[in-house]
Structure 1
């Protein structure tokens, strides 16, 4: 079933091509917005998240919760994510992040192809990466355009757009909270 959802989304005509002239603002547009997001400060200790994946037609295809144990030493951070999906399956992803000058970050994880690269400005963080996504015994490389926006010191919202070969496959929405 997952494979059919994924493959039907990949084979559908690229609606995004009709909207290609409508570019989203860059992260610099949020440079003055408060509260200022410092990933090393926010992702430190335990963080909880709840989210969903919506396919390109808007149907909620998967729901999940995440328990994150996060720690930083200097400019190096580890975000250990334990996912539990609504169907009872589990997954673990361990991000290794590096904080660079000017709000730039890089990151790696076992299921990330190459290196994730991002930029924080004001209350927003945007990064891009390629994820090796297993679907029905096969692995597909999908691109994510991932935005996080700090609401207050406890809550951050996240929206990621998933695509393959420029074709929009769906969206991931998360709400992070610090206990």
Structure 2
């Protein structure tokens, strides 16, 4: 009897582990609705950190952002300041494709980023050329952004290479 109970519990745990990953449509009814052209327009500030696979904080940073849109094409300038004093700049060109779909490019992004917004959420996927010490690595980012209200958006991004989890970036955006 104990063996059956153990097998049943193991099967349930296995099924729970196989639950499907979230998709943007899961958030379609969530409010407030996220529109990148509205939220990423004008100045913003973000505070973030990178944690490794074990959850240890490896880097902390702030980002000063400025977004500008002309029709369906926007420019998002990001200036990073890391806790060790290093700086970095990324300039995105983002195009609204309609129906909550976006594409984007930046100098250190390989190919195009793809985004889908539904409800208060955006899934933003891309490959970033990341400099580490004296070399660079092409790593995949799976960003999820959640609009909390008209001023605050939270961002969780998983970073991986060859499907292996490298860590997570967490950001809090604030629009004055």
Superposed pair shares fold, TM > 0.5: yes
Structure 2 counterpart of 1:74, from 71, 74, 82: 71
**For residues 3-47 of structure 1, what are the alpha-carbon distances to aligned partners after superposition, in whole Å with 9 as ceiling and x for unaligned?**
xxxxxxxxxxxxxxxx97343210001001000000000000001
Residues 17-96 of structure 1: pairs in structure 2 closer than 5 A: 21-96=18-93
Change (3 A) 1:20 1:142: farther
Q: Which has the higher contact order (CA 8 A, sep 6+)?
A: 1
CA distance in 1, matches of 2:164, 2:99: 31
Aligned length: 161
Which runs of no fewer than 5 residues in structure 1 stay unpaired?
Answer: 1-18
Q: TM-score, normalised by structure 1?
A: 0.88
Partner of 1:165: 162
Change (3 A) 1:20 1:97: farther
Which runs of no fewer than 5 residues in structure 2 stay unpaired?
Answer: 1-15
CA distance in 2, matches of 1:71, 1:39: 11
Q: TM-score, normalised by structure 2?
A: 0.89
4+ aligned runs moved over 6 Å, structure 1: none
Structure 1 counterpart of 2:115, from 118, 121, 131: 118
Give the structure with higher Rg (CA): 2
Secondary structure of 2:99's partner?
Answer: helix
1:174 equivalent to 2:171? Answer: yes
**For residues 56-111 of structure 1, what are the alpha-carbon distances to aligned partners after superposition, in whole Å with 9 as ceiling and x for unaligned?**
01000000000001100000000000000000000000000000111000000000
RMSD: 1.1
Structure 2 counterpart of 1:144, from 129, 141, 144: 141
CA distance in 1, matches of 2:116, 2:62: 25
Partner of 2:3: none
CA distance in 2, matches of 1:80, 1:118: 18
